[in-house]
Amino acid sequence: MASAFFAQKNTRTPMWGSLIALIIFTTACWILVKPLGVPGLGWANTLAMMAFGLFLTVLYAMIYGFEGASPWPAAIAIARQVVAATVIGVGLAWVAPRLGAIDRTSWDGAIRLLAVLLPAGLAYVAMVTALGGRELATVVATFKGGDEG
């Protein structure tokens, strides 16, 4: 949504959204890190980015409107992402206990995580694409210098 504001030559609104996201992130960290530990940082970031996206979407609709735009393509894209993320999340939750504790930063720990996260990321992209997502085709077309197929 920030790009949509930039296209309207409005850079202030995303800046205010970033400030709100920063405040939410900082507050959520303060609240979530003590009970959840490091995962609290991830949840804090998720909450802040959701607020940022919602803030910009609502303001864009109020200022510029979405005349003639159907909400269904966005809803379908979001559903596709949620399904793929849920499947990958369940798979990662199943694999996590089998990784053993990674207590410190090390090459061994990094390789073990890479061995799990790289296939998980590829599976996520494959699943979104199989569900009809066009993101991969868009990225490939961008690097080839052509239009999306």
Positive or negative CA dihedral for 73, 74, 77, 79?
negative
Positive or negative CA dihedral for 132, 135, 138, 139?
negative
pTM, whole model, 2 decimals? Answer: 0.63
The model's pLDDT over 17-63, given as tens digits with 9 standing for 90+, comes to 999 999 999 999 999 999 999 889 999 999 999 999 999 999 999 99
Do residues 25 and 44 lie in contact, with contact meaning Cβ atoms separated by under 8 Å? Answer: yes
Burial class (CB in 10 A: 0-12, 13-18, 19+), 127: middle
CA distance 70 to 62: 16
Domain residue extents for the chain: 1-69, 70-149
